[in-house]
Structure 1
């Protein structure tokens, strides 16, 4: 680990010094003609490099028409449709592995990722990542319990590119996200028609079809239509379809004089299995992780057909039937309208969308760590029949009968049901005008109206074997106590019904001044008001069958029929200022400072407990972050580099941990600093090597229990080394590429008691282009079957560093092959 740190620090430092010195020399001799070597390199680099140098980004820019990436005074990562495919992302969140300073835990499957942004403390979900489509937030709140933004988005061939902005001016525009903003840009059709069909197969019996049609419909009119359908059992086969469903997207664009208006609609209907922890063996203080006997941590899951359909004891006389195959799926649609035009010297932009859908969670959540069946039975007797022998009673299999071997390792896992219906409307209006040469003023407003209707059933623990595709277990004691029936051995411990709605209104003003051809500065401020209200059911404990001997459903959490009403209004100010100096046409340095906020969300209201606590800003504060950045950017045919150093100061962030039997809450802050880098070198024709990643040091503060500890789940060091080589073969070509990834060690918890060791992965791919019509792609991820953990047992507190544990590893080796035809 230390060697990796020293290597990366030295490599980045050397790259910075070399590139800065070259840029300064280029700036001093900007009028000189390029050397022969430079000209040769430029010819070899081709159109792709030219496209990178001239690339325009629209995310975080004051003007709707965008700014050259090299000329932006902030940190932004871009990826084209081809770069997205070459990365072989397992989900939308997994795309973020391309972004330095972001660590995405995408091991839950298509949905339910945890995403951490450098210097921003978070323990789960993705509170500091906002997902946008064509500049509009898909849903204006980045995170709710059992919802994070990437869960509401699926990647397909209708996407032209993605832009990921970190910090910078994002505190001013759109939702005002101070962390990271993922903005997916849809294809809208060109004069030259594009028509493709793609078929994909791979690990887990993957069957996927994609189609895209786009082009000119009539003079001034353009349109696209596309989508996908897939079925897969996944790398971890739950014995039913892990992914089942698809998506359709359509756009219609009307070119206007000096602008355009684009309408789009995207409908998604897909079920996705959600994966949590599996049994593992931990030793050496958590530094060494190994396979649990009989359980492959790379491909195994506890889920099985035996427990697929399960019952929830919701209240006396009320049971609910659920299907694990529903997972963390999505049945939703988003409609949008973007308008941009120059009118009488004004640049006018308006972006609006409406989102409506169900994003439910019907999933397994692992509980206590594995133990022998005899130990489970002994604990049950100690609790419910203390005068009996520890081995008194019976443990039998639900399906197929027969006694459970006392040495059989067993685990407890909750089968949870969380239903969420989300709706939202957002609109952002901007107007810009150049007041005098080089001086542009932008003013605008943002409005969001959003709702969430929730019905939760947490707990519902089941006893099962610690084996892949586990078997359920019944437990009865000699005194007639039924500890587990049909596997169910725990009650629903938390069952709120809640209805929330919110409104946000923001006004912003930005000023950009181009002082000279080389120097430009900008500043902006935002004033935002949020109003939230909600009603949350009051709860009581009931025995759902009025039988005290069936202990698995005693003290079940049940709504009383009455509700607690919660309200809160907040107003915050955000600010940004930056400057950029061009050393030459394609090289620049920048500085940036901002102060941003996130508001409390619906779940923070519920967790506040009482209206008095909710209204106490010291008890439930709005998080605030101050960020400073200094960066360097350059791009030319031989190399490109985007490097920035950052400092963050965070206060007032609320944390939530849902354990096996409770919901825990705390408030803290943090400080962090580090460096991010995106480096690419093209030394010869058709060859490129790139290095991306970050080094950071972030620690908690403002909470005596954890002050000075490392921010949980974030590696101090992570990087990706990616070489690619294109082999021309006449009218055909083959591109070979691969990625070596290093993820540093981390702590799974705020107390820094549960250690997560570093891991390394290797991905390889090949793309064959045959003529103008055919593409064949073969890719493999985690080729070496590395065992790496993204989280420990989040249902437990304290150290988990010795013996059997539950933890969530990365997926094992997965292979995909696809064929695409252009017609």
Structure 2
């Protein structure tokens, strides 16, 4: 009932903005939101599709964002862009990268697990789940992108890397017959400075180029003493055949960037609002530059130094080639793409507690919770000197240094044939895809003790035995547990796929698509075994946690897995009139489980702790997804809209969660689950009056678990982090000189974990973008301001993923991640 009432209120709000004379308005003009934000009359180009069609003629759901929409929504992160698309929930509270992307009704931890991220039809990484880094750590958006396409369901998603749940494809600008460019300077609150450039044009002799890049420095939307700094360069060089039959394009990218990632923080338990720290200021983050203090000895006489200050760092790039060629009037064509990428990537992860207590503690409660006696026998001091006041709160926390180099090779080739048989116009595609990706994943977890404050200071602790006067150093330079956890994995995935499809136009009114894909995946797994070793026997009085570390012992477990699966998709569309269509599609598809979820069989009794062996792997079978959708599309002058209903069922899902092991370490827990969902979606874009438009979309869904091997009691409960209501609504004014956009994104209430014990309230994030354009020389200069989170909404986007189902619902503290605070950005943009 609450969902129905909330949806009704949203619908009333949207309807109130639409005047009664909407149907009499003028037709869409270039650059209007209808053209760039998902209008059904916009042309789509999807990887592998041999027939480009307007969305009104396509029997599947299509969303598009043009460069203007990307500019006004993508100020903070990729999540803010994707949040405007129906069926996607994107959590961007962590900052610029590692957005948690959820697709309607599907259980996951986020991180693009069901949606490959592509640029120009080339997937950023051909296989997900080699580690837990999201696709967006390897690439950034810039001014060289012309539009975003998100296509879900249907035959198009069988091509290339494949994903019947959806493909996210950014399409770059290509050169034209005139030199064009954009130069932009950006300044934002809290010391953010960014410069962008994008150029494209002719080189002569049928060669064209496009290039773009940026560099920025940023103290962060939240001050942590950890900076964001770096940039990226992308480019393409295209040769177009003189007869117009196709092109060959060389693609390249180089990135050298580091950004900070914000984790959940302790909040007030009853209100889930920010808490005051020891200095009386509200705590926005418990991160600081601790790297110099948290090193320790390792087995064999080495030393470990944390790189946590680097945040999420990526250095490397990709080189790719795409081609298209039509062979005259024969109807035959050939297209394809090939790419090689190599990235040195590290992900400095701040946890949301020590994995044992997980919340702030008084000095005495810290001692009591660890059986360390009373304050009379304890000496708390700051690492920089000075005693810790007795009334201060402490927060024990962890960092995990994750070193994750990755390389990837992908190739795709498609043979196409256009053929007329009677009244049926066929467009056949026969193609194949190959991907080979490998990634390292070396994780070192360290626990530290600090005060509860913004940019906190580290805390030392020494305990004196009241009977023997013997001392024990519990925390030294803030280090509480050296080498609390260690992982050293390497995963390689090799994929082979073949597919065939036919996109048919039957007479003037009917389109019918059908396609089939078969794919084989082979995975190779290598995981180092661990042991606890004494690494500092020389320093007197150290606690066991400081003296010993968990580290790799040189023994490796290795194994191979393989699986073959098939997908089938079909869709039909009937044009009721020239501007109205009805459609339906259905598919049976698959996902290959993340390789990091594959488990080894039990080792034989008596196996040496450091032995290297291949014990074989436990079952590894594909996850099966079945989908169906029916819908209606309309595209009239001044009005475009879609309405659809959907059903999704996913079986044999290996849900991988990065959770506490209860002893201060971290494990990747695997649940074997099933889920189903159903719901409805709608989009509308309408001209209200001249130069003013309204654009909105809404997603309603019901989802539940149908299987849950580790906790059968969760069967029937709602899928965690999946709201029943999502909507976007915005007003967009542009008279050619002055433009103003005011838009909001609503995320409905959702549960933090699969046990459904903790529900987060829904929230709205409103944004404003306004600019004034004046002619300058041969171009135009736009002076603009963008305000993210206009009303400074203080909402919680997630609970503690590390605690998952063990998080307490009604305690004095609640660990959660708030949305990022309001930030005002000014821009100077020169287009020529």
> Which region of structure 1 is more displaced relative to structure 2, 520-529 or 362-371?
362-371
Query: Do residues 541 (structure 1) and 524 (structure 2) align?
Result: no
The answer to whether 1:705 aligns with 2:713 is yes
Give 2:697's aligned residue.
692
Compute the displacement of 1:305 (Å).
3.4
2:25, 2:687 within 8 Å by CA — same for their partners in 1? Answer: no
Q: How many Å apart are 1:409 and its aligned residue?
A: 1.4
Cα distance, 1:345 vs structure 2:
2.0
Higher mean C-alpha deviation, range 559-568 or range 534-543: 534-543
C-alpha separation in 2, matches of 1:49 and 1:376: 57
Q: Give the equivalent residue in structure 1 for 2:608.
A: none
**1:234 maps to what in 2?**
220
**CA deviation digits over 1:740-785, x for unaligned, max 9?**
2221111111111222111122211102111242111211011211
Match of 2:432 among 442, 445, 462: 445
Written as runs of structure 1 = structure 2, the 5 A alignment for 1:194-205 is: 194-205=180-191
Q: Is the 8 A contact 1:354 1:425 kept in 2?
A: yes
User: In 2, are the aligned partners of 1:672 and 1:698 still within 8 Å (CA)?
Assistant: yes
Tell me the residue number matched to 2:97.
Answer: 111
For the structure 1 residues 263 and 56, does the alpha-carbon distance in structure 2 shift closer, same or farther, using more than 3 Å as the test?
Answer: same
Which residue number in structure 2 is paired with residue 135 of structure 1? Answer: 121
1:657 corresponds to which residue? 658
After superposition, the C-alpha distances for 1:53-106 in whole angstroms (9 at most, x for unaligned) are 65221126631x522122111112111111101214412233111211111111
Paired residue secondary structure (1:248): strand
Q: Quote the residue 1:248 is aligned against.
A: 233
2-structure distance, mates of 1:513, 1:14: 41
1:556 to 2:549 alignment: yes
* Match status 1:398 vs 2:383: yes
What do residues 23-63 of structure 1 show as CA deviations (whole Å, max 9, x unaligned)?
xxxxxxxxxxxxx9967522878877578565221126631
Aligned residues: 787
Partner of residue 27, structure 1? none
Write the deviation string for residues 417-466 of structure 1: whole angstroms up to 9, x where unpaired.
110111011111111112324122211100011111222112x1111111
The CA distance in 2 between the partners of 1:43 and 1:138, in whole Å, is 34
> Structure 1 residues 233 and 300 mapped into 2: Cα distance closer, same or farther (>3 Å)?
same
C-alpha change, 1:222 and 1:407, in structure 2 (3 Å) is: same
Query: What is the match of residue 363 of structure 2?
Result: 373
Would the aligned equivalents of 2:248 and 2:322 in 1 still touch at CA under 8 Å? yes
Q: Secondary structure at the residue paired with 1:496? A: strand
Query: Against the structure 1 CA distance between its residues 761 and 614, is the aligned structure 2 distance closer, same or farther, given a 3 Å change threshold?
Result: farther
Residues 118/722 of structure 1: CA separation in 2 closer, same or farther (3 Å cut): same
Shift of 1:176: 1.6
Where in structure 2 are the equivalents of 1:775-786 lying within 5 Å?
Answer: 775-786=782-793
Residue 593 of structure 1: how far off its partner (Å): 0.6
Q: Which residue of 1 aligns with 2:408?
A: 424
Aligned to 1:29: none
**Distance between the aligned counterparts of 1:702 and 1:305, measured in 2?**
43
State the partner residue of 2:751.
Answer: 747
Q: Aligned pair 1:481/2:472, yes or no?
A: yes
Question: TM-score by structure 2 length?
Answer: 0.90
Once superposed, what is the RMSD of the aligned Cα atoms?
2.7
8 A contact 2:533–2:549 mirrored in 1: yes
- 1:266–1:333 CA contact under 8 A, matched in 2: yes
- Cα distance in 2 for residues equivalent to 1:193 and 1:6: 50
SS of 2:755's partner is coil
Please give the residue correspondences for 1:584-603 in structure 2 after superposition, counting only pairs within 5 Å.
584-603=577-596
Contact 1:299 1:811 in 2 (8 A): no
Tell me by how many angstroms 1:205 deviates.
0.7
Go from structure 1 to structure 2 and tell me whether the alpha carbon gap of 1:48 and 1:464 turns closer, same or farther (over 3 Å shift). closer
- Give matches, 1:87-486, under 5 Å: 87-241=73-227, 243-256=228-241, 257=243, 258-283=245-270, 288-294=271-277, 300-307=284-291, 310-315=294-299, 317-343=301-327, 344-367=330-353, 368-380=358-370, 382=371, 385=372, 388-389=373-374, 391-399=376-384, 401-437=385-421, 438-458=425-445, 460-479=446-465, 480-486=471-477
Residues 475, 631 of structure 1: alpha-carbon distance in 2 compared, 3 angstrom cutoff? same
- Change in 2 beyond 3 A, CA 1:391/1:408: same
2:688 match: secondary structure: coil
Residues 501, 594 of structure 1: alpha-carbon distance in 2 compared, 3 angstrom cutoff: same
Matched residue SS, 1:85: helix
Tell me the secondary structure at the aligned position of residue 573 of structure 1: strand
Note the C-alpha offset of 1:811.
0.4
Cα offset, 1:522, TM superposition: 1.3
Match of 2:8 in 1: 6
1:391/1:590 CA distance change after superposition, 3 Å: farther
Matches of 1:43 and 1:595 in 2, distance apart?
37
**Cα distance change of structure 1 residues 719 and 398 upon mapping to structure 2, 3 Å threshold:** same
Q: Helix, strand or coil for the counterpart of 2:9?
A: helix
Paired residue secondary structure (2:71): helix
The answer to whether the 8 Å contact 1:140/1:424 transfers is yes
Distance 1:545 1:601, change over 3 A: same
Query: Secondary structure of the residue that 1:486 maps to in structure 2?
Result: coil
- In structure 2, C-alpha distance between the alignment counterparts of 1:14 and 1:614, rounded to whole Å: 62
Q: Is the 8 A contact 1:465 1:471 kept in 2?
A: yes
Q: Distance in 2 between matches of 1:452 and 1:680?
A: 43
Structure 2 contact 22–688 (Cα < 8 Å) conserved: no
- SS of equivalent residue, structure 2 residue 27: helix
Within 5 Å, which residues of 2 pair with 1:66-105?
66-105=52-91
The alpha carbon displacement at 1:169 in A equals 2.7
Tell me the distance in 1 between the aligned counterparts of 2:749 and 2:281.
19
Q: 3-state DSSP class of the match of 2:369?
A: helix
Moved more, 689-698 or 288-297: 288-297
Who is 1:821 aligned against? Answer: 830
Change (3 A) 1:69 1:449: same
Q: Who is 1:33 aligned against?
A: none
The answer to whether the aligner puts 1:765 opposite 2:758 as a matched pair is no
Partner in structure 1 of residue 606 of structure 2 = none
Does the 8 Å contact 1:279/1:466 carry over to 2?
Answer: no
Is the contact made by 2:124 and 2:135 (CA closer than 8 Å) also made in structure 1? Answer: yes
Residue number in structure 2 paired with 1:58: 45
2: CA distance between counterparts of 1:271 and 1:220? 38
1:499-578 aligned at under 5 Å gives the runs: 499-546=490-537, 549-553=542-546, 556-578=549-571
Deviation at 1:816, TM superposition (A): 0.6
Separation in 1 of the partners of 2:283 and 2:26?
Answer: 45
- Residue pair 2:497, 2:517 contacting (<8 A) in 1 also: yes
1:297 Cα shift? Answer: 9.8
Aligned counterparts of 1:608 and 1:491: Cα–Cα separation in 2 = 30
Contact 1:378–1:390 (CA under 8 A) maintained in structure 2:
no
Query: Deviation string for 1:156-208 (max 9, x for gaps)?
Result: 01111111122333541111223231101111111122122110000221110
Distance 1:607 1:395 in 2: 44
> Does the Cα contact within 8 Å between 1:129 and 1:177 map onto a contact in 2?
yes
Give matches, 1:782-797, under 5 Å. 782-796=789-803, 797=806
Q: 1:280 to 1:313 in 2, by over 3 A?
A: farther
